[in-house]
């Protein structure tokens, strides 16, 4: 009837209104986005020109505008602040950095393997009434307590130096094992077993001789906690391995004692020795 | 249809914002690295800032807060130099490359440890991965004074070869102490 018809018209009008509103919102959104893009493009172009001027000025190129504006006092001090912070970051690269705290000093020991910086460890020290370790992030398998007992009260520098030796050696051993797993996984048979201190590694790797592959089982013991080379290397082959491999095993054993683990494996591949 | 246009605009906005961020950092880095202010200029700036401040805040940090922050940084630095024995005389750096996740800077550093002086140049590559920043040293070059000592030159060349900056500094203090001790002993017998 009439009411049904009216209802239908109402619904249609309502739907049309909703659609109209949606369309208007879409158009508004589009316009806003377009304006924002223009704004950012302008900003970006201004910056590009600024940077270009700066480069010209620094290279003494023609057309460079010499900076006539004297920097504000605040800008000078901000410069000094950034400069000091950069200097403090350099100390991070030296292995010992830190900052003074209300009750003492917070030291940061950084570690590295050759040119790659690895984990850093913090020690929050209190200096009164005597030097104590308040908080630290040194792993539990590093003998912090023994080292502290021996040196902390008498020679803080020595304490940090010895602790740094332990930490750097640990991180160095761990790095070598990680590198081995990452780059030579094809040659490793099964899993590489290691303890938390990474001073005991056991793994199998394949060596081929006369187109047959034989597994070598290696056990590396790093007896010196401050050293990242093993003190004891035991390599064993299976009983069916040819006699010539005993020589190879001896050569490898010697190499592992002198050269970092991942570098030793690298030299196997490049020497043309068939380690697959 | 409209949605895809929106998406195009939004993508461009994101790219522009990133580019603006990088350009701003590049500009500021370059300004920082090519400027130098002497200690006198620093002091003058502190004084002039305190004069012009006089109670207004403008949302900026007060000169006394700024001075305190500077003082705290200088105290930390002088403590570290005294504690480690490593005195840095000059440091300059230049940002050679900077993208979203990768920064390469060239550093020049000079200083001394007791009676041994050093001059270093190296490149520092920093990469931002998910949770941390990794740092790698390359192109390390070391000049030491005195450098005629054969032990020192052997040590320096092996350190340079592997980019062993950390080992250099860790060994520097103990070597410098030993060298100083030896020098004093020789002088004593002269």
User: Min CA distance, A213 vs chain B (Å)?
Assistant: 34
In this prediction, residues B99-120 reach a mean pLDDT of 91
Distance from CA of A111 to the nearest CA of B (A): 8
Q: What is the 3-state secondary structure (H, E, C) of chain A?
A: CHHHHHHHHHHHHHHHHHHHHHHHHHHHHHHHHHHHHHHHHHHHHHHHHHHHHHHHHHHCCCCCCCCCCCCCHHHHHHHHHHHHHHHHHHHHHHCEEEEECCCEEEEEEEEEECCEEEEEEEEEEECCCCCEEEEECCCCCCCHHHHHHHHCCCCHHHHHHHHHHHHHHHHHHHHHHHHHHHHCCCCEEEEEEECCCCCEEEEEEEEEECCEEEEEEEEEECCCCCCCCCCEEEEEECCCCCCHHHHHHHHHHHHHHHCCHHHHHHHHHHCCCCCC
- Indicate the pLDDT class of residue B56, thresholds 50, 70 and 90: low
For the stretch A77-108, pLDDT in tens is 889 999 999 999 999 999 999 999 999 999 99
Is the pLDDT higher at A66 or at B146? B146
Q: Each residue of A214-227: pLDDT tens digit?
A: 899 999 999 999 99
Q: Does B10 touch chain A (CB under 8 A)?
A: yes
CATH of A91-170 given 1.20.1410, 3.30.457, 1.10.1740, 2.30.30:
3.30.457
Distance from CA of B190 to the nearest CA of A (A): 32
pTM higher than the cut 0.80: yes
ipTM of this predicted complex? 0.84
Cβ contact (<8 Å) for A76 and B20? no
Average pLDDT over residues A22-33: 92
- Average pLDDT over chain A, rounded to an integer: 90
Ordered by start, the domain boundaries in chain A are 91-170, 184-272
With beta carbons under 8 A apart, name residues in chain B contacting A96: 80, 83-84
Residue A13 pLDDT > 90: yes
| Residues of B with Cβ-Cβ distance to A178 under 8 angstroms | none
* pLDDT band at residue A209 using 50, 70 and 90 as cut-offs: confident
- The 10s digit of each residue's pLDDT in B153-164 is 888 888 899 999
How many CB atoms sit inside 10 A of residue B37's CB? Answer: 16
Is B84 close to A111, i.e. CB distance below 8 A? no
- Please report residues of B whose CB lies closer than 8 A to that of A79: 32, 35, 37
- Inform me whether the pLDDT recorded for B174 exceeds 90: no
pLDDT at position A138: 97
Instruction: Mark yes or no for CB contact B31/A47 under 8 Å.
Output: no
- B52 reaches A (C-beta below 8 A): yes
**Which pLDDT does position B100 carry in this prediction?**
78
Return the domain boundaries, chain B: 1-51, 85-189
Of all residues in chain A, the percent with pLDDT exceeding 70 is 94
């Amino acid at each position: 009837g009439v009411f049904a018809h009216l209802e239908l018209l109402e619904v249609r009008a309502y739907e049309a209104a909703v659609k109209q509103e949606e369309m208007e919102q879409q158009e508004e959104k589009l316009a806003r986005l377009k304006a924002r893009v223009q704004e950012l493009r302008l900003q970006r172009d201004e910056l590009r020109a600024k940077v270009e001027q700066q480069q010209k000025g620094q290279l003494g190129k023609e057309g460079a505008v010499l900076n006539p504006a004297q920097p504000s006092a605040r800008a000078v001090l901000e410069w000094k602040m950034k400069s000091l912070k950069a200097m403090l970051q350099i100390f991070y690269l030296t292995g010992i950095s830190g900052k003074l705290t209300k009750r003492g000093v917070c030291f940061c020991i950084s570690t590295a393997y050759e040119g790659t910086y690895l984990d850093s460890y913090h020690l929050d020290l209190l200096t009164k009434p005597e030097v104590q370790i308040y908080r630290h992030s040194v792993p539990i398998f590093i003998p912090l307590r023994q080292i502290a007992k021996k040196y902390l009260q008498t020679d803080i520098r020595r304490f940090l130096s010895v602790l740094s030796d332990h930490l750097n050696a640990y991180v160095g051993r761990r790095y070598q094992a990680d590198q081995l797993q990452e780059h030579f996984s094809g040659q490793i048979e099964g899993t590489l077993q290691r303890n938390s201190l990474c001073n005991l590694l056991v793994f199998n790797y394949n060596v081929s001789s006369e187109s047959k592959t034989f597994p070598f089982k290696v056990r590396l013991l790093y007896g010196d906690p401050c050293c990242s080379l093993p003190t004891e290397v035991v390599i064993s082959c299976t009983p069916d391995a040819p006699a010539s491999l005993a020589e190879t095993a001896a050569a490898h054993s010697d190499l592992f004692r002198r050269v970092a683990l991942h570098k030793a494996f690298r030299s196997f591949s490049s020497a043309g020795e068939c380690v697959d | 249809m409209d949605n895809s246009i929106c998406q195009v605009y939004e993508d461009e906005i994101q790219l522009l914002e990133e580019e603006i961020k990088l350009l701003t950092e590049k500009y500021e880095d370059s300004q920082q690295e090519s400027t130098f202010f002497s200690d006198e200029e620093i002091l003058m700036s502190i004084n002039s800032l305190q004069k012009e401040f006089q109670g207004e805040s403008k949302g900026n940090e007060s000169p006394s807060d700024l001075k305190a922050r500077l003082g705290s940084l200088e105290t930390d630095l002088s403590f570290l130099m005294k504690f480690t024995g490593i005195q840095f005389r000059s440091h300059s750096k230049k940002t050679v490359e900077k993208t979203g996740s990768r920064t390469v800077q060239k550093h020049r550093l000079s200083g001394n440890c007791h009676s041994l002086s050093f001059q270093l140049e190296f490149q520092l590559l920093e990469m931002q991965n998910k949770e941390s920043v990794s740092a790698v040293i390359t192109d390390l070059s070391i000049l030491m004074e005195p450098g005629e000592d054969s032990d020192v030159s052997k040590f320096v060349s092996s350190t340079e070869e592997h980019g062993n900056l950390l080992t250099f500094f860790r060994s520097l203090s103990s070597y410098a102490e030993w060298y100083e001790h030896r020098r004093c002993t020789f002088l004593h017998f002269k």
